[in-house]
Structure 1
Amino acid sequence: MGGYLYILGTLVFTVYGQIILKWRLGNLQIVLPESNLDKVWYLVKLLFDPFIFSGFASAFVASLFWMAAMTKFEITQAYPFMSLAPALVFVIGIYFLGETFTIGKLAGLALIIAGTIVTVKF
């Protein structure tokens, strides 16, 4: 059971990182400057925003959970669970970020979940 908790930790921290980045950048109404040097400088400054920093820290924590999961599972057994991350982001994006809901997105979500089940079970 502990191995599955590592996978769950990987998913939770991966999804948190993606959602918090989208939420914060949306709140800041980011428009990148035109020149490449200004873009780089602007993005580096964004790293010091506490929410954005937490998103990057979350990705690091997710990688620690993933390393722990790799001690318990073969990668071909564990990796299909990572396809649940887009499904979670989809649902959270709709409910908390006001993202659009379409039949096409729902069909894609259903295919992802079905594919995960088939890959893990068979």
Structure 2
Amino acid sequence: MKYIPFILFTVMTNAAAQLMLKHGMMTLGPLTFAGVNPLFKILQIVFSPWIFAGLTVFVVSMASHLYVLSKVELSFAYPFLSLAYVAVAVFAYFIFREDLNAYRIAGIALICLGTVLIAQSGRDTPETEVAQGSSQSKGSVVQ
């Protein structure tokens, strides 16, 4: 449970990156390659300020995720990334005026419920069990 803040940091940076990429693509307008060198167009996209910022934040998010994966089980950490869907849906509603209908709200509620259940399963992580087991076995050796 002590790694939850790092996991949530990963989730929020992932969501922030998505929002930046969306904003960047909206400022670029419709994507067309007609009469333009595709390589030039890709470089134009990647180096537009919002796209570049979004990609940079994605790198930060991945670095954070790698740190988390070095500390907790993948089956515990990875489902938390679904909270990025929740954050993106809510922020997209407020920032981009995207639709947040009853089906999406129900889906968000199910994602949150599932994440809470997964978080509850992480109360006794293998690190804790190993530490408790090793201290118990040391105690029994001394006796």
TM-score norm. by structure 1 comes to 0.87
RMSD of aligned Cα (Å): 1.9
Partner of 1:56: 55
1:9 aligns with 2:13: no
Residue-pair matches, total: 121
Structure 1 residue 72 displacement after superposition = 1.9
Which amino acid in structure 1 is aligned with residue 45 of structure 2? L
* Ranges in structure 2 where 5+ consecutive residues have no aligned partner: 122-143
Secondary structure at the aligned position of 2:33 is classed as coil
Question: Contact 2:24–2:49 (CA<8 Å) still a contact in 1?
Answer: no
TM-score norm. by structure 2 comes to 0.75
Q: Structure 1, residues 76-101: CA drift from partner, whole Å, max 9, x if none?
A: 11112111000000000001111112
CA distance in 2, matches of 1:66, 1:73: 10
CA distance in 2, matches of 1:59, 1:87: 17
Q: Structure 1, residues 10-68: CA drift from partner, whole Å, max 9, x if none?
A: 11211111001101211222332247x74443122111112110100111111110111
Question: Contact 1:32–1:39 (CA<8 Å) still a contact in 2?
Answer: no
Structure with greater Cα Rg: 2
Which amino acid in structure 1 is aligned with residue 50 of structure 2? F
Q: Identical aligned pairs, as a percentage?
A: 27
